Amino acid sequence: MVPQRTLKHPIRCSGIGLHSGHKVSLCLKPAPEDSGIVFHQLSGESTVEIPARAEFVTDTRMCTTLGRDGTHIATVEHLLSALAGLGIDNAIIEVDGPEVPIMDGSSAPFVFLIQCAGIREQSRAKKVLRIVKKVTVQEDDKQCSLHPATGFKISYLLDYDHPLLRERAASIDFSSQAYTREVARARTFGFLHEIEALQKAGLALGGSLENAIVLDAFRVVNEGGLRYEDECVRHKILDTVGDLALAGYPVVGAFEGERTGHDMNHRLVSALLADESAWRIEELKAEDSAVQTMQGQTASQPA
């Protein structure tokens, strides 16, 4: 049996929300078997529980936002990506603001927090969502799909009208490549000419060179440059890991995406879950080659 996993101890952090610009405190806590990942939005004396599942997605503009009973938590994808990348099945995430802190724009700070808290194996078997039939969502030149495969793989084509971002592709097979090494440090990115319009729309109010890659018409503005030569496409893969986690279970299958973002990722997960012939829930077997990622064996590697 491959066991479910949670945290050993609670751990806290604080930071700025990328879009709200507000300071936010966050606490990761252990959770019981089969409870999944659940956000607790703290507001005064009340707490609203929002499960990290696709049915609770309320907005996908520039980030993934979850909501329930009029309460919303934005920019959940980087934290969900870190939890999935380290094989965490069950956790409580307490947030005292409208958004998960952006930290440095990647999932590496969350990976570090999880590693510091420690990971505890639980008594029940890990369950996965195995893709058994291809599901595709397409719109104009954008498309993404999930199809049957051994393990968990993501292939992504990035294509922007920018000299550094034209037809950049990357593929990560998580049964042989470590999330912490290949994906976790990739930061979110944006374009200098779009910042004013985004801020007028109430977005990117907390954005800076400390938490995002910024590109002008020709180059990367950040003094330190890129962490990976193809950091922007790797960040798209990082986002996809977080968005696919909203299926409610680790996915066993392959994702292929072209020019997609949070909206199409959400539409794909929703289309998948709506077609019960396309998937099945099963216990993860030790002999499954997906076990390296799904069991979180990358957790001991530095972020």
Three-state secondary structure string covering 149-167: CCCEEEEEEECCCCCCCCC
Q: Are residues 105 and 236 in the same domain?
A: no
Indicate whether 77 pLDDT > 80. Answer: yes
Q: What is the mean pLDDT of residues 90-111?
A: 97
Among residues 126, 158, 191, which one ends one of the domains? 126
% pLDDT > 70, the chain: 94
Average pLDDT along the chain: 93
Q: Which of 229-233, 243-247, 289-293 has the lowest mean pLDDT?
A: 289-293
Q: Strand 251-258 to strand 142-147: parallel, antiparallel, or no bridges (unpaired)?
A: antiparallel
Q: What is the mean pLDDT of residues 169-197?
A: 94
Residue entry with tokens 């980030």: 63
Indicate whether 268 pLDDT > 60. Answer: yes
Burial of 25 (0-12, 13-18, 19+ CB in 10 A): middle
Q: What is the pLDDT of residue 285?
A: 80
Q: Are residues 62 and 179 in the same domain?
A: no
Q: Are residues 122 and 147 in the same domain?
A: no
**What are the percentages of helix, strand and coil residues in the chain, rounded to 5?**
25, 35, 40
Give kind and range of the element (H or E) at residue 294.
Answer: helix 291-294
Around Cβ 176, how many Cβ atoms within 10 Å? 11
Residue entry with tokens 């299958």: 253
Q: Which domain holds residue 164?
A: 128-300
Among residues 126, 141, 163, which one ends one of the domains? 126
Is 262 noted as a catalytic residue in this protein?
yes
Q: Are residues 166 and 287 in the same domain?
A: yes
Q: Are residues 157 and 257 in the same domain?
A: yes
Q: What is the mean pLDDT of residues 244-254?
A: 98
Q: What is the mean pLDDT of residues 106-135?
A: 98
Q: Are residues 135 and 205 in the same domain?
A: yes
> CA 250, CA 35: separation in Å to the nearest integer?
14
CB-CB contact of 32 with 113 (8 Å): no
Domain count, the chain: 2
Around Cβ 197, how many Cβ atoms within 10 Å? 10
Q: Are residues 132 and 118 in the same domain?
A: no
Q: Which of 199-203, 254-258, 279-283 has the lowest mean pLDDT?
A: 199-203
* Active-site entry in 78, 235, 262, 266: 262
Give kind and range of the element (H or E) at residue 178.
Answer: none
Q: Are residues 148 and 116 in the same domain?
A: no
Q: Are residues 102 and 135 in the same domain?
A: no
Q: Are residues 136 and 210 in the same domain?
A: yes
Q: What is the pLDDT of residue 206?
A: 92
Q: Are residues 138 and 262 in the same domain?
A: yes
Residue entry with tokens 């409870």: 35
Q: Are residues 26 and 142 in the same domain?
A: no
| 157, β-bridge pairs | 169, 258
Indicate whether 299 pLDDT > 70. Answer: no
